[in-house]
Structure 1
Amino acid sequence: MKRGDERATIVEGGNGLRNHLNQLNYPTLIFVDEDSSLYVSDRNNNRVMKWRKNAKEGTVVADGNGQGKELNQLHYPNSLSFDDEENLYVVDSYNHRILRYEKCFD
């Protein structure tokens, strides 16, 4: 790849800044699993999204119930990670906490 080459392609998002399942608003971190699914910390939508390979839209795997401090809400999730048992960990930055979600999504 040379500087100036236009080889990039949009993998997910790129459809505006709203909160529809085909949109992202300030994505901050990604994780790609062994099935090539893409997990995205969608900060300004206060959710974590999963996009299967070649999907037209994603699914919400962590919260998405609006900004807040309840256990079913996030406030600017900035980072995410998985452990060996495939549990999801989310850094919920404005709530000053890290949440663990047991593997309960496909």
Structure 2
Amino acid sequence: VRPLRGSAIDIHPNAHWEQNGVTVAGGNGDGTGTNQLKNPYGLFVDDEQIIYVADQANHRIVEWKRGATNGQVVAGGNGVGSEAHQLAYPLDVIVDKETDSLIICD
């Protein structure tokens, strides 16, 4: 049996998981509010444990700081489109620490 393959980690077939999870982003049903996500897809966690979520159906990237009850839109969120202030179903996001920029798979 081979480990499951993730984008940046290997999960061993005999891995043990906690039975109780903690919601760290969203958790308030589908929607457009800053405390909601709609079809979240990719995510990135930086060194400060800030979570960046590719909120695909809302066409935005949302930043969630540790312990926050609302996220902050850091890219897109202006409807679907190809203009500089818009995204079209973003799939993933990473943060480049050297250039302090988001790299978005849109």
TM-score, length basis structure 1: 0.78
1:16 pairs, out of 12, 29, 35, with 29
| Number of residues of Structure 1 aligned to a counterpart in Structure 2 | 91
The residue that corresponds to 2:102 in the other structure is 88
Q: Identity rate of aligned residues, in percent?
A: 38
TM-score, length basis structure 2: 0.78
Larger Rg: 2
The residue that corresponds to 2:85 in the other structure is 72
Unaligned stretches of 5+ residues in structure 2: 1-14
Return the alpha-carbon distance in structure 1 between the equivalents of residues 94 and 44 of structure 2.
Answer: 7
- Counterparts in 2 of 1:28-47, with a 5 A limit? 28-47=41-60
Q: What is the Cα-based RMSD across aligned positions, in Å? A: 1.5
Comparing 29-38 and 17-26, the one that deviates more: 29-38
Stretches (4+) displaced over 6 A: none
